[in-house]
Amino acid sequence: MKLLSRARATADTMRDRLVWQGASLLLAYPDDGMSERLDIVDELLSHLSGTPAALLGQTAAALRSCSTMAAAARYVETFDMRRRATMYLTYWTAGDTRNRGREMLAFATVYRQAGVEPPGAEAPDHLPVVLEFAATVDPDAGRRLLSEHRVPLDVLRGALAEIGSPYQHAVAAVCATLPATTGQQSRRAQCLADSGPPTESVGLQPFTLTVPPRRAEGG
C-alpha cells in the first residue's frame, strides 16, 4: 500500500508540474516567442487530461486565435491597467514597501535554498516566475509558495473572470492543483477584492527563465 501511495503521489506531482509549466508559459508576456511557447504547451497538454488540461487548453486556444501584437495589447490592458489583476503575489499581502520587500526576499530565499538564483529581469513573486520554479526546480517548495498565496490567486482569478479574460482559465488550472479554498480564505479574498491591493510597488532582482520578462518602459 505504501508503494502504491508513493507512486500515486509521484504521478500527482508530475501532473501538477506539467500544469504549472503550461500556466507559466501561457501567463508570460506575448512576444515573438509566443507561438513557440504555445507549441510547448500543446506538447504538455498531450500528457495531461481532466479539468486542468481543459482549462489550459482554453487559454492556449484564445492566444492562438489572435496575433502577437493583439495578444500583447490585451496582456498590457489586462495586467498592467488593472490593480486587481496584478500577478505580483506579494502586492496583495504586504501593506507597505518595506513589508513587501521583506516578503519578496522570502521568495528569493526559497529559490536560493533550492540551489538557484532568482531571475534578475523579474521580481521573484511574479506568478509566471513562481510557477516555473515550481515546475522545473523544486515542486515541494513551489507548491508551498503557491498554497501560501492562495488568496491572491483567488483574487486574481476572480478579477480575470469578471472581465472575461481568457487568462482566467490558466489561473484556475493552477488553483486546481492546490488544496481547496477554506471559508476563511474565501472571506479574505473577497475582502481584498473589495479593497484592492496596496498602492506601493517595489522592484527587485537572477534563475534563467524560459518565459520572457516583462517589457522595460518604452520597450
43-99 per-position pLDDT tens digit: 999 999 999 999 999 999 999 999 999 999 999 999 987 777 889 998 877 755 567
pLDDT score for 33: 95
pLDDT score for 214: 57
The rounded distance, in Å, linking the Cα atoms of 201 and 181 is 27
Residue with cell 517548495: 141
The rounded distance, in Å, linking the Cα atoms of 153 and 123 is 17
Task: Tell me the average pLDDT of the chain.
Answer: 84
Percent of the chain's residues with pLDDT above 90: 59
The rounded distance, in Å, linking the Cα atoms of 185 and 153 is 11
Q: What is the pTM of this model?
A: 0.82
Rg of the chain, C-alpha, whole Å: 17
Average pLDDT for residues 122-142, to the nearest whole number?
96
State the pLDDT confidence band at 201, using cuts at 50, 70 and 90. very low
Dihedral angle of Cα 11, 16, 17, 18, to the nearest 10 degrees: 90
Residue with cell 507548491: 143
The rounded distance, in Å, linking the Cα atoms of 15 and 17 is 5
Which of the two residues, 122 and 25, has the higher pLDDT score?
A: 25
Q: Note the Cα 191 to chain centre separation in Å.
A: 21
The rounded distance, in Å, linking the Cα atoms of 62 and 96 is 36
